[in-house]
Amino acid sequence: MAPEIVVVGETGDGAEAVELARRLLPDVLITEIPLPRLDGHAVARAVTQAGLPVRVLILTAHDSDEEVLGAITAGAGGFLRKDAPPGEVIAAVRAVAAGGAVITPMVLARILARVAEALPAPETTTTSKLDALTDREREVLVHLARGHSNAEIAVALQVSETTIKTHVGHVLTKLRLRDRTQAVVLAYETGLVKPGS
């Protein structure tokens, strides 16, 4: 059975949200972007820079590319629209708490298109960064870049979810990456995965 989600604090103020995060150390802090005193991006940045063991999920009606990129830059682990179905929000909270990253699919499609435009041609990009990975770890990285969960990757590769978690950990460690979001960006930067593939 999945662990229960417990609300440990609430506020409508950004500065107070950061203070509650410091005091209560929740697994996930859910924030909106427009807030008094500190907006959602500033909240995510403050939590990340403080080195708190708290992941940030931004839940908002504002889903412009700039808002999403601002959230990622600020250190948020997730970005969902407020109109996401409740089950999707619960799944996002659990994914972010587990160290994963979540972006509303329609928003992710736009962001990936922008990332693809900004990337150099694969033939001009060195893939030496990926040389440290085994063939299986590269396969796992490809699945990560396509937005697959550990469970989905396990099914596709016909191994246990625990094995996939180990592979993901090795990928992040070998490539010196903080989280799955950085792994996805690297997969596109190196040309391992191409948009639409």
Residue pointed to by tokens 């900004």:
118
- Contact between residue 62 and residue 31 where contact means Cβ atoms under 8 Å apart: no
Rounded to a whole number of angstroms, the distance between the first and last alpha carbons of the chain is: 35
Question: CA–CA separation, 67 vs 70, rounded Å?
Answer: 5
Q: In Å, how far are 1, 41, 177, 195 from 74, measured between CA atoms?
A: 33, 6, 16, 24
Q: Indicate the range of 5-9, 30-34, 133-137, 166-170 predicted with least confidence.
A: 5-9
Residue pointed to by tokens 């991006």:
41
pLDDT tens sequence across 14-67: 999 999 999 999 999 999 888 889 898 899 999 999 988 999 999 888 777 788
Q: Walk across the sheet containing 55-60 and list its strands.
A: 28-31, 55-60, 78-81, 102-103
**125: Cβ–Cβ under 8 A, 6 or more apart, which residues?**
119, 189, 190, 191
pLDDT tens sequence across 113-164: 777 777 655 544 445 678 888 999 999 999 988 888 888 999 999 999 999 9
Confidence check: pLDDT of 9 > 80: yes
| Reported pTM | 0.59
Three-class SS of residue 156?
helix
Residue-by-residue DSSP string for 116-130:
HHHSPPGGGS--GGG
C-alpha Rg value of the chain to the nearest Å = 17
Sign of CA dihedral 127, 132, 135, 139: negative
The secondary element (H helix, E strand) that includes residue 90 is: helix 86-97
Question: What pLDDT shows up at residue 124?
Answer: 44
